[in-house]
Amino acid sequence: MIKKIVRFFYRAISAIAIVALGAGVAWLMYSSASTLPLRQYFSRSQTNAVWDWSNPLNKNQKELRDLANFLYLHQLNTVYVHVDAYAKTDTEQIKLADEAMEQYIKALQKHDIKVFAVGGDVSWSSREEWHKPTAVLNAVKNFNQSHPDTPFAGVEFDVEAYNQKGFSEGSNTVKSLILGDFLDMVDMLATNVEAYNKDGKKLELGFAIPYWLDNENGNIPSITWQGKTGPTLYHLLDRLQPLEQSNVVVMAYRNAARGNDGVIAHSRTEIEYADAKAPNVNVLIGQELGDVEPQKITYYGQSSTELSSQIRSIESTFKETRSYGGIALNDLAFFQEMEQSN
């Protein structure tokens, strides 16, 4: 009788232990699913950037946590966030922007996501407008000085000088002057960053550029700048090369990786030149997700599976080149929409 009772209790205890173990495993699986990427979207060894054009001043703590989790679960490790106030002289607006950016960066830091301040306008390369990109850069430096625990990783400029009125139909002389002013602005900003980084700081400087700055479409001339003649792309990469950390985002907006009109073909010269002449410059490949025309330049209406498949083709082509740095998606809102529709 005693043996039967002992066996009964033994079996009961074993059953309880098994149930508890199963519950523990289930909890661990749930916990892991909640904290680890659910599937592979992009390479984990490269920069996977996204442009966030929303207003950071309007985000509460929950929205910031949700944003950080979304980015992490999709292997997005860099964000370019637009802060209009940094281009202005309104100290109260800059203060409010600083407070918002401290919370923004702090939330993303928990998943090791870098944050770059973004500034840009087609007019900024004009010499009378240089005070605006300078103001953005100085605001970031001041922010990093006063927020050493939550610094910006860098500044990403989107100055599309080629969209200035009169450029597309202008003569080669007009285009050369506008592109020369753009390069002079780059030189001014690069010199500023070089001086800032001399005492051990590591602020990265980046520029978004069209894929045809290498003259591949024949619509812009080679220009003479600082004693050298060549495509604007070459001058730009040569100027960024002395910086310890810099990048260009090549807006090779196509929704197919391969083919004569594909992303790889439109990005090859940038990566090959950087590899040979400017190895310190990271070359990121920009991809468009928005509702724009023509259809061939965007993934709008397609799935993230198709997007990641094309990006894997890009990465497999350039993975052995030291200058290929990863991708940059334009933009976050459309990527979130893409995921919701899957």
Banded pLDDT at 11 (limits 50, 70, 90):
low
Look at residue 40 in the predicted model and tell me its pLDDT.
Answer: 81
Q: Is pLDDT of 12 > 70?
A: no
Look at residue 324 in the predicted model and tell me its pLDDT.
Answer: 97
Cα–Cα dist 318/315, whole Å? 5
% pLDDT > 90, the chain: 84
Q: Is pLDDT of 27 > 70?
A: no
Cis check: omega of the bond before 187, within 30 degrees of 0: no
Cis check: omega of the bond before 242, within 30 degrees of 0: no
The model carries a pTM of 0.88
Look at residue 342 in the predicted model and tell me its pLDDT.
Answer: 67
Look at residue 22 in the predicted model and tell me its pLDDT.
Answer: 45
The secondary structure of residue 38, as a DSSP letter, is S
Tokens at residue 127, please? 């010499």
Beta bridge partners of residue 225, listed in sequence order: 228
Beta-strand pair 324-330/47-52: parallel
Cα–Cα dist 317/61, whole Å? 40
